[in-house]
């Protein structure tokens, strides 16, 4: 069970890392900070609740069940972070938000103090790593401590559910999907963790034994709730970034034919460890290097070849823009061939500006690369056909 809890906590923390990913010069959003604080405290609560952690804490302190107030205090701190996150979501004047946050922290701070005091007053001399809630459900002071942490956690999660339902009606796209995932995770916490804990504790009060709900059902449901909530927190921030990286990777691959044509002429310095950089950085370096190579090939540009190729493409019925890009591809390929053969450049350099250098994004270079690939294919097919024809 500890391994499953640790895995859920690790995924929880990974979602926090995704949320904190931002440019170094970008301002830190208070809402993002509050969200990450909630994620970190939630993951710490999971780690503290693991039996392996409880045993280690009890052994280090020499106090049986010392891990119980530590875990309950961490869960209460997580509940407090959810309340603060709700205040941030609701918004309003900074003074009002700050005042509500201080009130929430004061309330849950008092709850944590009460948990510690009640544990100190109670008799918990027998170490219980998995069933402390039900084992001490009828023990004075320990009983009140268990009920207090459950009530504090229930108040925060039920408020979170209400806000998610309300806000999901007003937003669209990934944000709505993320809110729905947070709602599902919170409901799993309410039903799978809190309700089972309440049921098992009340069963002990009435002389029955439903401990399996607290020991066998509640922990995995809490882990599943944490995983679902972490997906809801990270999805609106992480998925657009992944899509952007995928687009950059496709553009990087699309530039392959053009890069193989001009790379020998590029003098741009190669960045260290380019293979391990994100596609965005590799694409930026590839663009700079291609532009440098095209600049080096400019003295070899044959305007007459370009014009003949363009006129031929227009005569075939191709659109004007497509004809222009095809003509530029032919001119670049011819310039690269003659530069590689160390032929003399033209005495009067061409002043023509490629379409790929007129646009600010990568689409112009990608179009030029595709035109080069098509021209290579068009010349390769007839050659292979001729070679295959018997004499």
**Digit-coded pLDDT (tens) for 12-64:** 666 666 665 554 444 466 777 777 888 888 888 888 888 889 999 999 999 99
Kindly report, residue by residue over 290-344, the tens digit of the pLDDT. Answer: 999 999 999 999 999 999 999 999 999 999 999 999 999 999 999 999 999 888 8
Tell me the pLDDT tens digit for each residue of 347-384: 787 888 999 888 878 898 999 999 998 877 655 444 44
Report how far Cα 50 is from the mean position of its chain's Cα atoms: 26
129-133, 254-258, 278-282: range with lowest mean pLDDT: 278-282
Residue 333 token pair: 């390929």
Fold adopted by 2-237: Rhopdopsin 7-helix transmembrane proteins (1.20.1070)
Q: What is the pLDDT of residues 202-218, one digit of tens each?
A: 999 999 999 999 999 99
How far apart are the C-alpha atoms of 70 and 75, rounded to whole Å?
9
pTM of the model: 0.69
Question: Cα–Cα distance between 21 and 239 in angstroms, integer?
Answer: 13
Work out the percent of the chain whose per-residue pLDDT is above 70: 87
- DSSP letter string over 274-289? GGGS-HHHHHHHHHHH
In the predicted structure, residue 273 carries a pLDDT above the cut 60: no
Separation CA 191–CA 125 (nearest Å): 31
Q: Are 266 and 235 in contact (CB under 8 A)?
A: no
Four-residue CA torsion sign, 301, 305, 309, 311: positive
Lowest mean pLDDT among 84-88, 134-138, 303-307: 84-88
- 3 confidence band (pLDDT: 50, 70, 90): low
Cα 228–233–238 angle (5° rounding)?
A: 110
Q: Can you say how many angstroms the Cα of residue 239 is from the centroid of all Cα atoms in its chain? A: 6
49/5 Cα distance (integer angstroms): 8
319: left (phi over 0), alpha (psi -120 to 50) or beta: beta
Burial of 181 (0-12, 13-18, 19+ CB in 10 A): buried
For the four alpha carbons of 286, 291, 297 and 302, in that order, the dihedral sign comes to positive
């Amino acid at each position: 069970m500890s391994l499953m809890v640790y895995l859920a906590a690790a995924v929880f923390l990974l979602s926090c890392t995704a949320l904190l990913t931002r440019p170094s010069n970008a301002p830190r959003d208070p809402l993002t900070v509050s969200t990450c604080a909630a994620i970190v405290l939630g993951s710490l609560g999971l780690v503290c609740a693991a039996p392996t952690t409880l045993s280690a804490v009890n052994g280090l302190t020499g106090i049986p069940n010392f891990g119980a107030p530590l875990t309950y205090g961490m869960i209460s701190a997580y509940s407090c972070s959810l309340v603060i996150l709700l205040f941030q979501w609701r918004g309003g004047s900074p003074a009002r938000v700050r005042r509500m946050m201080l009130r929430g922290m004061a309330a849950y701070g008092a709850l944590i103090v009460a948990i510690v005091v009640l544990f100190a007053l109670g008799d918990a001399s027998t170490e219980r790593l998995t069933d402390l809630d039900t084992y001490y459900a009828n023990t004075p002071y320990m009983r009140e401590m268990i009920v207090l942490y459950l009530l504090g956690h229930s108040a925060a999660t039920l408020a979170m559910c209400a806000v998610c339902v309300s806000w999901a009606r007003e937003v669209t796209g990934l944000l709505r999907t993320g809110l729905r995932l947070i709602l599902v995770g919170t409901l799993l916490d309410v039903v799978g963790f809190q309700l089972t804990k309440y049921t098992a504790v009340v069963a002990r009060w009435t002389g029955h034994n439903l401990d399996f709900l607290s020991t066998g059902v509640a922990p995995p449901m809490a882990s599943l709730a944490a995983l679902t909530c972490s997906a809801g927190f990270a999805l609106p921030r992480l998925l657009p970034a992944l899509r952007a990286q995928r687009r950059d990777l496709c553009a990087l691959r699309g530039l392959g034919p053009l890069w193989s044509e001009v790379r020998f002429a590029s003098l741009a310095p190669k960045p260290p460890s380019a293979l391990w950089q994100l596609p965005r950085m590799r694409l930026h370096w590839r663009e700079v290097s291609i532009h440098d190579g095209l600049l080096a090939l400019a003295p070899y540009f044959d305007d007459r070849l370009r014009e003949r190729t363009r006129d031929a493409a227009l005569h075939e019925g191709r659109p004007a823009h497509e004809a222009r890009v095809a003509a530029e591809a032919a001119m670049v390929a011819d310039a690269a061939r003659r530069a590689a053969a160390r032929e003399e450049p033209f005495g009067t350099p061409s002043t023509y500006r490629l379409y790929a250098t007129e646009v600010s994004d990568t689409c112009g270079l990608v179009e030029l690369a595709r035109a080069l690939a098509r021209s290579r294919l068009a010349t390769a097919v007839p050659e292979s056909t001729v070679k295959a024809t018997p004499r």
